[in-house]
Structures are given as structure tokens and as C-alpha cells.
Chain A
Amino acid sequence: MASAAKPIPGTHIFDGDAAQKGYALNAMCFSFNHARNRDEFVRDEDGYCDRFGLTDEQRAAVRARSVLQMIAAGGNVYYLAKLAGILGLNVQDLGAQQTGMSVEAFRQMLLDTAGTPKALEAIHG
């Protein structure tokens, strides 16, 4: 246990435990900085996952395109975003998927935050 602090609901701290657990998955995602690697993943997803030694849990998460499962398997969103790019998903798509909302509802939730009293106070001083 890297931290004894109280859990924050719906929030996963990317600590040493997660960084060790997720290493292979994150390494694969880090490789997607290069276009040829992205192309290779698209061409042969299983073979590409083999090359990075993804665990069964990580493979299942990638196959399911499930962000929460990838995070549970040690994925970090900064690296996962590179995989999301290949899949044509932006951070609203990721947010919608993780919160179980439609993308439209998730976008609306973001927009609605701007109208709250605390937001108006922050916007207008």
C-alpha cells in the first residue's frame, strides 16, 4: 500500500503499485507516439500486445476497449490517451464511458458546471 490516505470516490491514484502493475500496458501505449507503431497495432493488435507482454487482464481490457478495466490493470490515462487516439476516442468519449453516461450527457454535464454559483463566482470574480 503506497498511501494510507483515505480513498477518494471514483478516483484511482497512479502510485508505485499501479505503475508496476501497469508497466507493460503503459509501455505499449507510450510506443504509440510513433505512427509506425500505431499502424502496426491496427494491423495486428494481438501480435502487438504479445510484443509488449501484456497480462491477461490488460489484454482483456484492451480487447473490451474498457478504460476502467485498463485503469484497474494499472493503466495511466496520460498513456492510455495515445491508445484512445488510435481508437478515435477523445477525452469526452473516455469520460462518458467511465461514468456510464452518453457522450452528449457527459458534454452537457461539463457545460452545466459553468452555470453553478461557485463557477459564476470564479468566472466573474
Chain B
Amino acid sequence: MAEVLGGVFTSHVPAIGGAIQRGAENEPYWKPFFDAWPPVRQWLEEQAPDVVVLFYNDHGLNFFLDTMPTFAVGAADTYTNDDEGWGLHPFPIPAGHAALSWAIIEKLVEEEFDVTTCQQMLVDHAASIPLALCWPGREAPVRIVPITINTVQHPLPSAKRCLALGRAVAKALAEWPGDEKIVVMGTGGLSHQLDGERAGFMNPEYDKFCMDNLGPDPDALTRHSVHEMVELAGTQGVEILNWIAARGAMGAHVSEVSRTYHIPISNTAAAVMVYETAEATASGAASTEKTPALA
């Protein structure tokens, strides 16, 4: 039976991709951010997931304003990254898992989420950079199910709705008959604002509130309206909606494995977190207990 092991949450600032492609990870500006990753990679190495269900927002690579889905689910076996216009080279994107995508779509619609389904979908830096951070220098050894949330054109879905979407995905994963090991990812944020006279705005107090509550009490993040979230996190800080949805997909109980918060990456307060599900913690403890007996 499939098992959800945990979740990786990270900022997806394009400049991170630039730093990777320039080999700038050890420069003083970048090192504090990239230092977040060895423990994340070690956790992934230990857990060895087969599938990543990836919640992010498209920034105008696949979707434009002609057709802007609130929630879209990739339903393909192949995805690609592409030129987004400002100089980043496309990253390798692993294969999709169309069968699991359709199981998620079936469950979401049954749960009254009227999602858009995409058999062709370019995935942008918000998916490619987190995968490159988790598995540097190679195509990620997983299959993916990309799920996008509109954080571009208001009205955006509420935090409550995004959490409920994630929880419906959790049901689909729990019912999936395969034996895959699954990790969820939520990308974007944390606080930042690129546009307007308030450009450069960051809010560490709100970011800490989000990081402290996302694991134990994600409903706490749903008490703010989208407008309040824009005020608290900045116009692009609302990308925390992706984190909230991903958290919902992990099930009720999680424990924090790692957390890094660093200011600034480009114009953004950056964060990297890993949570583990209660099930993964229990099986991890079981395998640890076994080791001495075997030795």
C-alpha cells in the first residue's frame, strides 16, 4: 500500500536556479540558503520516495490570462520545463505518474473540487528548482504529479479551500492501491513583494507564524483572508497557499525534521522545511530498532 512519507517545503525564487546553474552555491550570499539542503537530501535518501506530488503556482510559462485555472492537475507521463524569458536554462524534469494523477483527479472531483486536467503541461521554475535542490545535478529519481494553484490573478482560492484541496489529495493517496512511497512538496514564498511602491516588503513575524503552525495546526493559517495574506506576506507572499495545500496532503499528524529561514534571497524571505508523517516516523523507528537485532 502507498505511503505518504512527508513533505518538503521551499521557496522557489528564480535566482536560486541561476545560482545553481552558475555554481554559486558556496558564495557568501548563497551559502546560508544552500546549507539548508544537505539534511533535506539525507532525509530523501533515507526515505527513497518513488513519487512527488508537487503543489506550486505557474508564473506564465504554461498558463496565461486567456485561461487561468484556479486548480489544475497534471495528468501526463511526461512534463518539460522551458525558457521563461529571463535567462534560466531549462532543468530536467522527471516522468509523470498519469495513473496516480487520474486517481487524484477522480477523488478531487468526487470531493467537489472542479479541477482543470492537463495532459500537456509545461512546468515552470516553481517545480524545477525545488526538484533540482532536492536532487542536484541530475533528473530527480521520482515520478511527479504537478498540481498548480492560481496565485496570479485575483480572486485567488482561500487558504481554507487550499487546505481542503490538500486534504482531498490525502484521501486519494490513502486509497491508492499501489505500493509507492510518496513525498509531497509545497513551493513558493515566504513573504515577498516584487511590485508596487511597497516592493521589497518582507514580514518575518508572519513567516514565523506560518512556519510554527503549518505542521501542528495548519488550520491556523486559514484564518486570514487572501487580502489579509497579501497585506501580511506581500503580493507574491500569497504563494504560501501552495504550502498550505501540500500540508493538507500529508494527513493529520506530522513532525518537523528540519527548518531553515534566511533573508534575503533576491527580494524574498526564503524558507526550507521538511515534515515527516507519523507513519514514516513509526516505520523509521521500527527499522532503527531492527538494526541492532540484525547486527
Contact = CB atoms under 8 A, between A and B. Distances in A.
A33 B154 contact: no
Interface stretch (B133-141, B190-198, B246-254, B280-288): B190-198
Interface stretch (A10-18, A48-56, A57-65): A10-18
A95 B264 contact: no
Interface string A67-105: 110010000111111101110001110110011000000
A15 B154 contact: yes
B263 interface: yes
A35 B86 CA distance: 10
Given A16-B154, A109-B200, A114-B263, A84 B64 contact: no
Interface residues of B, number: 48
A97 to B, nearest CB: 9
Contacts of B194: 77, 81, 91, 94-95
Give chain A's interface residue range (CB within 8 Å of chain B).
35 or more
A interface majority secondary structure: helix
A30 B85 CA distance: 9
Nearest to B207: A122
B interface majority secondary structure: loop
Interface string B16-59: 00000000000000000000000000000000000000000001
B199 interface: yes
Contact of B87 (A68, A85, A110, A121): A85
Interface in B237-272: 259, 261-264, 266-267, 269
Given A14-B153, A38-B85, A92-B267, A71 B200 contact: no
B152 A76 contact: yes
Given A33-B83, A34-B83, A110-B263, A68 B197 contact: yes
A98 B234 CA distance: 15
Nearest to A114: B263
B93 interface: no
B3 interface: no
B178 interface: no
Nearest to B264: A110
B82 interface: yes
Interface of B: 15, 59-61, 64-66, 82-87, 152-155, 193-205, 207-208, 211, 225, 227, 230-231, 234-236, 259, 261-264, 266-267, 269
10 contacts: A8-B227, A27-B66, A33-B84, A33-B85, A67-B195, A77-B194, A82-B60, A82-B86, A84-B86, A116-B204
